[in-house]
Structure 1
Amino acid sequence: MLDYDREAEEYDASRGGEPRAAAAADAVLALIPESAGRLLDVACGTGIVTRRFAAGRPGLKVTGADLAHGMARHAAARMPGAVVLADSRRLPFRDGSFDAVTSVWLLHLVDSAEDVRAVLAECARVLRPGGVYVTTVDKAAAHDVGSDIDAVLAPRPRRPARDAAETVAAHAAAYGLVPSGQARFPGVGQGRSPRRTAADLRRGWFTALTPGAPIGERLVAGLEALPDQDRPRPDPVFTLRAFRKP
């Protein structure tokens, strides 16, 4: 997994910046009832999306939580006094503290099925009855847009999809959450180009590939042989699922 303390400085610029954040925040807020008063954004990262939750709903009190010091520092600069350093598997909040809980681009990073269950359990625990939990699902699959880059990358090893929609729904149901909606939004500015994808392979962005491994170098060679090295292919389209606590 990437070192998100080190990634914090370049994270926003490398992942679509404000346009992507705006698309994500708008889609998430559309799934959260207007009556919600308190929202917790779990794994808030640099706060680039979290800040937009607060700006998009002036009456909504938003709290961000992240485990990485570097990410939390950036988020706190955007939202002074509203960000805590916390492990999503052990949230430092009382039961039923929030009307809404979000986790955008988190579950695909979790290492084990046990930890995914722990995250879902905590999100359900701090959610009040009638509250809504919103999360992204199928993150890795969203990046397979049917391009020539995807054809080159097809033989690569892959981690189990901890955020597969059906898996997340099953865990949510185990903690008493029921489906309440879904949405999709574009990963603006995240369309892959061959040159950037080769660089990402070499720096360890593909978590099941060790930088410098023979299969990785073969994939890099295939990417370097593609035309239009700097032309981004289509942006991914991400999926959100919402669940309500009865």
Structure 2
Amino acid sequence: MDAAQYAAWYDTPRGAWIGEVEYSLLREVLEWRAGETLLDVGCGTGYFTRRFAAESAAGEVVGVDRDESAVRYAAGKGGAEYWVADARRLPFGDKASMSW
């Protein structure tokens, strides 16, 4: 399945419903503060990355995935910055901090 086919699943009734449920759960558990950067590791085609970026009044949203075709698709949709990278070796240096 290519990236466009995968992304199209979120346009189906089941995909839209599951996407809403998952997004709501993520919003409940994330403690994202104004001015912070949200890093979506394993962003795939960027569905959630774009949702967070659209909601963001302040702060940056960055999506990272090791699948080049998925990142290319996500970047083509815009709305955030996207990087091809392995989650085990993120290219952001030691100054990055994380919160769950």
Q: TM-score, normalised by structure 2?
A: 0.78
- Larger helix fraction of residues: 2
The answer as to whether partners of 2:3 and 2:69 remain within 8 angstroms in 1 is: yes
Task: Supply the distance in 2 between the matched residues of 1:95 and 1:22 (Cα, whole angstroms).
Answer: 34
- 5+ unaligned residues in a row in structure 1: which ranges? 1-5, 99-126, 133-246
Which structure shows the higher strand fraction? 1
Q: Deviations over 1:60-109 (max 9, x none)?
A: 310001111110011112235600111112111112425xxxxxxxxxxx
1:1-246 to 2 correspondences below 5 Å:
6-14=1-9, 16-35=14-33, 37-79=36-78, 82-98=81-97, 127=98, 131-132=99-100
Q: Distance in 2 between matches of 1:57 and 1:81?
A: 11
Q: Alignment partner of 2:4: what SS? A: coil
* Coordinate RMSD, CA, aligned: 2.2
Q: Which amino acid aligns with 1:9?
A: A
* Uncovered stretches (5+) of structure 2, i.e. residues with no partner: none
Give the AA of the match of 1:13.
A
Question: Relative to structure 1, is the Cα distance of residues 27 and 60 closer, same or farther in structure 2, using a 3 angstrom cutoff?
Answer: farther
Post-superposition offset of 1:59: 1.4
SS at structure 2 position matched to 1:65? strand
1:87 to 1:34, Cα distance in 2 relative to 1, 3 A: closer
Which amino acid in structure 2 is aligned with residue 90 of structure 1?
R
Work out the percentage of aligned pairs sharing the same amino acid: 34
Equivalences, count = 96
Alpha-carbon distance in 2 for matches of 1:34, 1:90: 23
Q: Which amino acid aligns with 2:29?
A: L
For the Cα contact (< 8 Å) 1:75–1:83, is it kept in 2?
yes
Alpha carbons 2:61, 2:80 under 8 Å: kept: no
Q: Which moved more, 1:6-15 or 1:22-31?
A: 6-15
- The 2-side partners of 1:81 and 1:68 are apart by 17
Offset of 1:48 from its aligned partner? 0.8
TM-score by length of 1: 0.35
Residue deviations 1:147-172, cap 9 Å, x none? xxxxxxxxxxxxxxxxxxxxxxxxxx
